Amino acid sequence: MATITQYWWIIFITCFTVMLLATLWMTNLAKHFFVEKDGKRSFNIFDLEFPATEMQLDKLMYYSTPDARKQLRKHLLVDFIFMPAAYIAIALLCYKAAIKMEFVGKYTFLALAVLQILPWLFDILENGYLLNKLS
């Protein structure tokens, strides 16, 4: 823990920079997300992450252009670079807040820092599921 406290800013800035660069990369890839049904219509990653039904997700995958599928695969792979940077940065912020607090706040923010592993795990599972569906 002493190393994290000592090098907090360096670790945080590194994570934040990687997160921003990965975000820009994914934003650029997302410009290619189109489906061919009823003319060309764009979609975004949230349409895949939060479809209304399983059938809607299948249709979106089926009718997406070949270039869109290729770019979507790249997007999901770049997300594996984004995830550790984002979740570690959030955990570091929670840890830093915990250091500055006392009593309940300290343990609450420490718990939030440790619990960042859960959304990271679910994000990995989600990307794996979408990559599997894409195949």
pLDDT score at 12 = 93
pLDDT score at 1 = 60
Rounded distance, CA 31 to CA 113, Å? 33
β-strand partners of 42: 34
Distance of alpha carbon 100 from its chain centroid, rounded? 28
Rounded distance, CA 95 to CA 105, Å? 11
Single out the residue of 21, 23, 45, 20 nearest to residue 32, CA to CA: 45
pTM: 0.85
pLDDT score at 115 = 96
43-80 pLDDT per residue, tens = 888 888 888 888 888 888 888 888 888 999 999 999 99
Can you list the alpha helix ranges (DSSP code H) found in the chain?
Answer: 2-6, 8-30, 45-49, 54-63, 66-100, 104-114, 117-134
Q: Which of 4-13, 70-79, 93-102 has the lowest mean pLDDT?
A: 4-13
